[in-house]
Structure 1
Amino acid sequence: MPVTIKDVARLAGVSPSTVSRVLANHPKISPATARRVREAMERLGYVPNAAAKSLVSQTTHTLGIILPRAAEELFVNPFFPEVLRGISVQAQQAGYDLLLASGSTEREEREAVTRLVLGRRVDGVLLLCSRTGDPLIPFLRE
């Protein structure tokens, strides 16, 4: 069972809301309290719940990458693995995770992008392959 904010609060001797404030770097939390809470987090191996955090912040710190429709393009062409590696390095440095999606048809691709964007699962989308007149471009602009 994962460690919760309540577990951290109990060990640190503070309220769950204080733990939440430490996570948010609230300026009214004393350095001594913040240190005690962070030590409890480390001792328990606490990892903040990304879903709960994104509800509060309205961000996911996740980028959606839309892969080419044809899988052979992705694995045969050395361009794509190198681009993915570069994106991954930069995203990690910026504190972002990556979510890969694709579709074998234009409709499936549009459905995947719609789920990611309208479902607020990503903060942005990178298209690794787009075509002239690609209907995803106006959709993403909206």
Structure 2
Amino acid sequence: MTASSRRLTQQDIARMAGVSQTTVSLVLNNRADAGTRIPPETRERVLRVIRETAYVADPVARRLADRRNRILGVFTYEAVFPPGGADFYHPFLLGIEERAEEAGCDLLLFTGAGVSGPRRIFSAESRVRLADGCVLLGRTVDRDDLARLLREGVPFVSVGRRDDAGAPVPYVGADYLPAVRALVERAVDLGHRRLAYLGPGAGAESSADRLRGFREAVAATGSGGIRTPTAGRTPDDLLDELIGAGTTAVFVEAWADGVAIVRAARRRGVTVPGDLSILALGVPTRPVRVGFTGFRIPRREMGRRAVELLTEVLESGGTPQELLPCEPVDGVTLAPAGCRTR
């Protein structure tokens, strides 16, 4: 087993810094033995290696070699307890907590404390190795972090499908492609031929999967489809573009955009779903009154399954990758094309 495929030890740090293990221990404990003075340049060299490797003292070393802490980490790239009632991550956390408790494990929440700017797993203050393994939460995950986790053999599972980062990434995600295709087929069956996709469709893998499902379904059904980015656009601008293109059904990546379009339509006498059907490709982060037609992302199930897959990784290694089906939601915002309601 190489140093890149196991936890770093004080011996590893000593070798990389060109000092003794005793010196590393003294620096870590911020002290010197009686009669021993560590030169400032030596101390700085050891600290530099510690920073560069994100080393933390291994608590497991105090236990039997074949025992684990039974602590599972959860690293969040975004705030999972945001103000204002937004609760997108809450079901994930419920599933993670339930399954961890059933497995007899404690949870340790990591937030990249001490880092200014975007959260990163590896930093001078990183403590992610305190856990036996880690579940990663976030719409986007830093590819350099993923590559390093894979390179150093740190056990982890990402919630959400991730592209390769130098090697396959273990994940559990939502199976967006068939869910979006099914919605497009429903709209086409109701006579819709001018469809639009509202949202970035890029950046996060989840966005790319939704747009891909839309495009593939549009091509397969022979209907016409346009993509309408939302950045910097007002709801009225977006509605103008949709109406101007003859759109009868719009697929919104974010519920907030769907709600904004509904409100703009009401102000201007455009009926939903009579004049314009709206299909949502996700879930709301706040309570809303609009019952969009769309699908449910299995967030709680994804949290549970992430813990189960992480347990498998800890026990037998491997790179599990799994997509869970999304559940259709009928809603009230899809109607036959041209069926204006008053």
Using structure 2 for the length normalisation, give the TM-score: 0.22
Q: Which has the higher helix share?
A: 1
Structure showing greater Rg: 2
Q: Which has the higher strand share?
A: 2
